[in-house]
Amino acid sequence: MSNQIETIFLVQLENRDRQTVFWRAILAAPIVFFVATFAVDTWDSDWNTVTYGLFVLPVILALAFRGTYPSYLLAFNKSFFELLNRVWAYITLLNDLYPSIESSDSVKITYPEINEGKSLSRGLPLIKWAMAIPLAIVGFVYALYALLMLALAWFNILFSGNMPEVCADVLVRTSQYWNRIYGYAILLVTDEYPSFSL
């Protein structure tokens, strides 16, 4: 098993609902607002926008000073990160399932075994964010490519009711890439440096 976060998205290529695709941004607004309520000062601070309400600083402190990843923080971060990915799958047109605030089959995320944080470095969480900067730079290039594929997918679904497989593949792989970065630098569930490849 890989020592990275592994993400599986339910992708719907055919028989897409054209009306929900056309109004997707408006339909997603309530669930996006729900997610935003978890991040304190989301509109004022870039850091909170990046973490989306995930617990990061308490995890860094617990790992650095106690050598443990508190189980209640891990449970919350896992559940909330899956919610974020369900919302993301809906917004990026991967499927037509409205994101549930409870666990669902539209997104499955597998985490590496961390043995309550004992298998994680105590000092590395303090610098992982800096080490992830090159990954983020490459990720922004991938994100631009994915944005182009998203626009192509939107028009295809709107006019034909089907999503091109190549568009879905790029969107899924880009999302998986960013999830690996989050697993490394934000969720802090692995010390293994993610690959630069999609």
Rounded to the nearest 5 percent, the helix, strand and coil shares of the chain are: 60, 5, 40
Quote the pLDDT of residue 41: 54
Compute the average pLDDT of residues 118-144.
Answer: 92
Above 50 in pLDDT, residue 1? no
What is the rounded distance in angstroms from the CA atom of residue 163 to the CA atom of residue 30?
A: 25
Give the whole-number percent of the chain exceeding pLDDT 70: 93
Compute the average pLDDT of residues 134-156.
Answer: 96
Q: Are 114 and 187 in contact (CB under 8 A)?
A: no
Above 90 in pLDDT, residue 22? no
As a whole number, the mean pLDDT across the chain is 89
Report pLDDT digits (tens) over 83-105.
999 999 999 999 999 999 998 88
pLDDT-based confidence at residue 51 (cuts at 50, 70, 90): low
What is the rounded distance in angstroms from the CA atom of residue 152 to the CA atom of residue 11?
A: 16
